């Protein structure tokens, strides 16, 4: 399959604030925040932003389909002053309940959280299977704590699963009404993409014509994009293909045969049995930590380098705690070595390769030497680097990744992966733990979308590498750019020592301009998509520190994360177009 130089969404068009990115994509994982002020308003909870939001990045903003399902479950199971969270397995629900019990201070008279099991039966003559949900019910005041678990652990149900449940509930309601002959028999319509939700009607305050038009556009988008409805019976096969593709042993983009012995990761003996799928990238990180805690003596872990926000929260809140070395440089390794030499034991060291947003690359070879000497595991998050560009599995015990990002590219599905190094020190123990403990939490339709999206993974990365390097070369010499963070320019020797033979420097970079005022002018005039997430097939920009660390800006600045840093994820647009729009935005800086 060939990839053209034009993006999947060929012409950038301005979108209204808090509309999905891409537009008319009901399961989009980004949301439009087109100005600097909009991003601050989002962080400060301004009604003009939050009252209009139906979806956003799924771990931070609960999708409207999930909210509808939560409301239905609360009407069925909750008592007065109770809220809910919905999960797909009992074990995850119990973790959420335990998290609330640990961190929430109950007022007198408030009941402790409880779990209701809810099985949704399909219509009698349909081919659908029952879906069983686990509903955690808790005091309304505890909702922020339940939401924190949802965000940190990444194990919440997907919007597609919620949509399917709402569809089953509606069809069951129709079946019951028909059996009572209260209404004429209704036409089912599109089985997989019925956008009526539970009610099938415009909600209060919505214009019915607008809702119907939006549903029509959504259906057209999917039919044009995929040609036919997806059949969930292929989900298991899709997951096998996904695991082989992630292991680097898929021979071609379209079949399931094995590749060469070493595969694309440069590791002999690896197979799909070493790959575990999760509903989000953060879920993969959470379960790597949980698996290590069950496998090895529970100790504090190390977070090395400035991490994605929830990685540090997981290591701090789940288990014995965390040592944090936020700069991720050689002097930090010196300090860590002194700590270990003093007798301190650690469970694991977590790092990103490269980091986000400063694109620093840790010295994995030295980390591996320390791990072998002092007996701890190494977990590397390769989301930004990805295994087409860098080979890090050899130096790690576990490699995790967010499949939501460039592996998918289409910004319409969540997913995560955990890969075990088959030659790692703890391989057999970790395999044994996962064999006993692993739960497949990835919803079938999400797996199908993810498999289809990722068929062009390698070709897209090579194009993105080239486009990003071209753009960064221009920006690095521009007089209004004070600093650029990109592996080609900072810590390059470390990155190059792990770069694969055909690899590049990736599609992510960050820039610092002269002042916050300059950053605002640049950002507001930049003609491209603006919102959270990265690795999309279209260029996506955000004021990273504002979005990720708004309540801890001073803390982030200690590690070189400027409050006016702008992060850019480059897409498939042709380089000439990117150079033009970035130059025009820089020209608008007048301060």
Q: What's this model's pTM, rounded to 2 decimal places? A: 0.89
pLDDT at site 179 = 79
Q: Which residues contact 188 (CB under 8 A, 6 or more apart)?
A: 171, 194
**CATH class of domain segment(s) 233-251+264-454:** alpha beta
Pairwise CA distance, residues 417 & 247, whole Å: 10
Question: Which DSSP helix (H) or strand (E) runs through 540?
Answer: strand 540-542
Identify the three-state secondary structure at position 102. helix
In which element (H, E) is residue 275 found?
strand 275-278
Residue 169: which residues within 8 A CB-CB, separation 6 or more? 72, 120, 198
Helix, strand, coil tally for the chain in percent (to 5)? 40, 15, 45
Q: Which helix (H) or strand (E) holds 341?
A: helix 330-341
Strands (DSSP E) along 442-507, which ranges? 481-485
Domain ranges of the chain: 51-161, 233-251+264-454, 457-588
C-alpha distance from residue 274 to each of 257, 282, 423, 448 (Å):
16, 18, 11, 20
Per DSSP, the residues of 414-427 read --EEEEE-TTSTTH
- Residue from 158, 178, 155 nearest 166 by CA: 158
The pair phi, psi for residue 54, each rounded to 5°, is -105, -25
CA 248-453-16 angle, to 5 degrees, is 140
Distance CA 375, CA 526 (A): 48
**Chain length of the chain:** 591
Residue range 457-588, CATH number:
3.90.1150.10
556 phi and psi angles, rounded to 5 deg: -65, -35
Q: How far apart are CA 435 and CA 363, in angstroms?
A: 31
CA atoms within 13 A on the CB side of 544: 26
**What is the mean pLDDT for each group of 10 consecutive residues in the chain (591 residues)?**
41 82 94 97 94 87 96 96 97 98 96 97 89 98 97 97 96 85 45 35 45 44 40 85 94 46 82 98 98 97 94 96 96 98 98 97 98 98 97 98 98 98 98 97 96 96 98 98 97 95 97 98 97 97 96 96 98 96 97 86
Give the distance between the most distant pair of CA atoms in the chain: 78
Give pLDDT, residue 251.
60
């Amino acid at each position: 399959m060939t990839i053209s130089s034009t993006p999947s969404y060929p012409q950038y068009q301005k979108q209204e604030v808090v509309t999905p990115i891409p537009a008319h994509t009901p399961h989009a994982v980004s949301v439009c925040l087109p100005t600097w002020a909009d991003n601050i308003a989002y962080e400060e909870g301004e009604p003009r932003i939050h009252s209009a939001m139906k979806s956003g990045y799924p771990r931070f903003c609960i999708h409207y389909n999930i909210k509808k399902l939560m409301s239905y479950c609360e009407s069925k199971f909750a008592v007065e002053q109770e809220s809910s969270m919905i999960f797909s397995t009992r074990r995850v629900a119990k973790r959420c309940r335990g998290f609330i019990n640990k961190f929430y201070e109950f007022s007198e008279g408030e009941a402790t959280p409880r779990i209701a099991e809810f099985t949704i039966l399909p219509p009698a003559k349909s081919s659908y299977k029952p879906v069983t949900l686990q509903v955690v019910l808790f005091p309304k005041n505890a909702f922020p704590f339940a939401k924190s678990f949802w965000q940190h652990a990444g194990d919440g149900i997907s919007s597609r699963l919620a949509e399917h449940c709402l569809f089953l509930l509606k069809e069951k309601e129709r079946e019951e009404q028909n059996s009572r002959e209260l209404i004429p028999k209704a036409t089912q319509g599109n089985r997989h993409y019925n956008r009526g939700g539970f009610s099938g009607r415009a909600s209060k305050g919505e214009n019915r014509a607008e809702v119907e038009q939006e549903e029509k556009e959504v259906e057209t988008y999917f039919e044009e994009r995929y040609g036919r409805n997806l059949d969930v019976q292929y989900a298991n096969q899709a997951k096998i293909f996904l695991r082989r593709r992630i292991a680097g042993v898929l021979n071609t983009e379209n079949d399931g045969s094995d590749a060469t012995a070493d595969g694309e990761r440069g590791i002999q003996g690896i197979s799909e049995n070493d790959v575990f799928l999760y509903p989000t990238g953060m879920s993969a990180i959470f379960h790597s930590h949980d698996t290590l805690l069950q496998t090895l003596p529970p100790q504090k872990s190390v977070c090395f380098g400035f991490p994605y926000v929830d990685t540090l929260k997981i290591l701090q809140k789940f288990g014995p705690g965390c040592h944090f070395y936020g700069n991720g440089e050689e002097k930090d390794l010196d300090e860590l070595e002194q700590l270990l030499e003093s007798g301190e034991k650690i469970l694991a060291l977590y790092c990103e390769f490269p980091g986000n947003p400063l694109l620093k690359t840790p010295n994995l070879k030295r980390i591996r030497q320390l791990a072998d000497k002092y007996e701890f595991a190494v977990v590397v998050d390769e989301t930004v680097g990805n295994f087409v560009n860098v080979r890090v599995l050899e130096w790690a015990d576990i490699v995790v990744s967010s499949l939501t990002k460039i592996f998918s590219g289409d910004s319409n599905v969540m997913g995560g992966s955990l890969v075990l190094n088959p030659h790692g020190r703890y391989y057999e123990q970790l395999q044994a733990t996962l064999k006993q403990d692993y739960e497949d939490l990835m919803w079938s339709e999400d797996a199908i979308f993810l498999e289809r999206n990722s068929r062009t993974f390698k070709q897209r990365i090579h194009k993105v590498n080239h486009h990003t390097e071209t753009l960064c070369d221009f920006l690095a010499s521009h007089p209004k750019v004070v600093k650029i963070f990109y592996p080609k320019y900072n810590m390059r020797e470390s990155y190059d020592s792990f770069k694969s033979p055909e690899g590049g420097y990736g599609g992510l970079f960050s820039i610092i301009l002269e002042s916050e005022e300059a950053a605002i002018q640049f950002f507001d005039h930049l003609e491209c998509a603006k919102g959270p997430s990265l690795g999309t097939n279209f260029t996506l920009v955000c004021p990273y520190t504002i979005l990720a660390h708004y309540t801890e800006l001073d803390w982030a600045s200690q590690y070189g994360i400027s409050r006016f840093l702008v992060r850019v994820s480059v897409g498939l647009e042709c380089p000439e177009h990117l150079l033009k729009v970035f130059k025009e935005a820089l020209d608008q800086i007048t301060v």
